[in-house]
Amino acid sequence: MKKLTRSQFLKLLLGSTALTTLPLISCQKQPEVKTNNNQNQSANEEVDIIIIGAGMSGISAGFDLIQKGLKVLILEGRDRIGGRVWTDNRWNIPLELGAGWIQESEGNPLTKLAQDFQVSTIPFDFDDSTFYYADGSEMSEEDQEDYDQLFEELFEEIETLREQKEKDDQDDISLQKAIDEILADEDLEPQDQEVLNYLLNSTIEHEYASDINDLSLYYWDSDQGFDGEDLICDQGYKQIIQPLAKNLNIKLNQIVEKVDYTNNIQVTTNQGIFNAKYGIITLPLGVLKSGKVEFSPPLPDRKQEAIKNLGMGVLNRVYLKFSEVFWDDTQTLEYISKNKGEWCEWVNFDTIIKQPILLGFNAGDFGTKIEEYSDQEIIKSAMEVLRTIYEDIPDPLDSIITRWHQDEFSYGSYSYVKVGATPEDYDNLSQAIDNKLFFAGEATSKEYPATVHGAFLSGKRVAKEIIANI
């Protein structure tokens, strides 16, 4: 079955868009990043700009600002840089816990960045898949084609319904409700329902990290894409971030508690107080929603509304390491589960870095629910699915499990347009306050939210805004 990716949907429904590649600085080797761990701002350390957060957006902004000779200080709560770009090396191979792909590499500015920094990338083909029904039997190619056809037709009907509702000036509803309306008179066989659930989960819920019950019918796919194949940085996504951070003054373990912008910018962390003329907030939407960082005065109503309206989704990864490969040699294994969204997609690392590792993804409601399970319970649940397909297989030797919903520096994986939100909420979140407190991060990018390139471009935007203001 050919899975439609987000860009393919967009092409199908809206026509494709492309962005010109930005000129970027070239750098030949991977430098070590120097960070000032556990140090307060010394009395004579004057900075022009404090950036909160050393993820892609904060580092991209800092990189551009120091080129202009401005003094920048980045305060980061974690003990590492990168934020939701997080390459783990505990098995002595680079495995991503956050972002995994440079999506649609033709026109994506990260492709040029990877080339400039000589970061090794390899193409990944989400269409190279083997499909299994809930009972573990393999889906025939004929069935795959039939379901493809039905799914494309369903999406054409969704588009028609959306246009009709917009024309009639009706309130937004969830994508789920729209599908329920369209299928109201259909009596789907249990297997057809399972395949439909699988397709909705793997193509939409994984992409937007949200259940379709929460996604806005009007705006769920209002983001833009590029063209071409997805790329994996097989030596680690962090290799794209490190060169950008090379000359930046970054203090780690500085958990920001308060931002006072009454006069100049004053930032209070768990370790001290920092002052500057300008501030850039790159806190993830989940952290802004949590209210754990106090703003004084409180953020303007429009910004608070945007924080409330937009959703922060969940996508989690479970890596299982085995003694040997027992699975098919396609890039992904797709499982049409009985219950929607449970272990429907596995990435085969034998095809990427020749390792007997499977990576399972779970998103939305189920992705959030399993964060409450113990590691053993998560592995048991995953193995039940794999044993339905492959029967006599050994337990994994080891596992790596993410819990993004519980992560206190993110509280979720990335933003999405919830029912009741509009793309303008992204704009409202991006707007500066009094030309001194600026905002970047994936959730400030109306065009490219939920992505590393969106975060990267938002950092460049905010740097431009400050430079224009100085």
**Binding segment toward ligand FAD, per CB under 6 A, in 11-19, 155-163, 296-304, 448-456:** 448-456
The answer to the question of residue 130 lying near ligand FAD (CB under 6 A) is no
Q: For residue 337, which of 304, 362, 370, 303 has the smallest C-alpha distance? A: 362
The answer to the question of residue 99 lying near ligand FAD (CB under 6 A) is yes
Helix (H) or strand (E) segment spanning residue 149 = helix 141-167
Cβ-based nearer residue to ligand FAD, 317 or 340: 317
Q: For residue 49, which of 63, 36, 65 has the smallest C-alpha distance? A: 65
What tokens were used for 317?
């990864």
- Kindly tell me which residue out of 455, 457, 462, 466 binds ligand FAD, with binding defined by CB under 6 A: 455
The answer to the question of residue 52 lying near ligand FAD (CB under 6 A) is yes
| Least distance to ligand FAD, CB of residue 305, Å | 20
Measured distance CA(108)–CA(21) in Å, rounded: 7
The answer to the question of residue 126 lying near ligand FAD (CB under 6 A) is no
Give, as one character, the DSSP assignment of residue 205: I
Strands (E), 309-412: 311-313, 315-321, 332-335, 345-348, 357-363, 398-401
The answer to the question of residue 313 lying near ligand FAD (CB under 6 A) is no
196-255: contacts with ligand FAD (CB under 6 A): 254-255
Measured distance CA(50)–CA(62) in Å, rounded: 9
Measured distance CA(157)–CA(423) in Å, rounded: 23
The answer to the question of residue 283 lying near ligand FAD (CB under 6 A) is yes
Q: What angle do CA 469, 459, 119 make, to 5 degrees?
A: 140
The answer to the question of residue 413 lying near ligand FAD (CB under 6 A) is yes
The answer to the question of residue 256 lying near ligand FAD (CB under 6 A) is yes
Measured distance CA(283)–CA(77) in Å, rounded: 10
The answer to the question of residue 441 lying near ligand FAD (CB under 6 A) is yes
The answer to the question of residue 56 lying near ligand FAD (CB under 6 A) is yes
The answer to the question of residue 284 lying near ligand FAD (CB under 6 A) is yes
Q: Lay out the site mask for ligand FAD across 321-360 (x = CB under 6 A, - = otherwise).
A: ----------------------------------------
Measured distance CA(282)–CA(278) in Å, rounded: 13
The footprint of ligand FAD (CB under 6 A) covers 52-58, 75-78, 83-85, 98-101, 103, 254-256, 282-284, 287, 293, 315, 317, 404, 409-410, 413-414, 441-442, 450-453, 455
